[in-house]
Amino acid sequence: MNTLDLDINKRYSYADYLTWMDDVRRELFDGFIKMMTPAPSRKHQDISTNTTIIFGNYLHKKKCRLYHAPSDVRFPKEPTNKNDEQTFTVVQPDLYIVCDLSKLDDRGCFGAPDMIIEIVSPKNSRRDVKDKFDLYEKYGVREYWIINPTDENVNVFVLNENAKYQLVGMYAEDDKIPVNIFNGDLKIDLTEVFEA
pLDDT tens per residue, range 9-49: 899 999 999 999 888 889 999 999 988 777 788 999 999 99
For residue 68, the cross-strand partners are 95
Instruction: Say whether the peptide bond before residue 70 is cis (omega within 30 degrees of 0).
Output: yes
**Per-residue model confidence (pLDDT) at position 1:** 47
CA atoms within 13 A on the CB side of 5: 9
CA distance readout (Å), 105 to 40, 43, 72, 75? 26, 30, 10, 14
Domain range summary for the chain, segments of one domain joined by +: 40-193
**Per-residue model confidence (pLDDT) at position 146:** 97
Q: Which residues contact 171 (CB under 8 A, 6 or more apart)?
A: 153, 154, 155, 156, 177, 190
- 101 three-class SS: helix
pLDDT digits (tens, 9 = 90+) for 130-180: 899 999 999 999 999 999 999 999 999 999 999 999 999 999 999 999 999
CATH number of 40-193: 3.90.1570.10
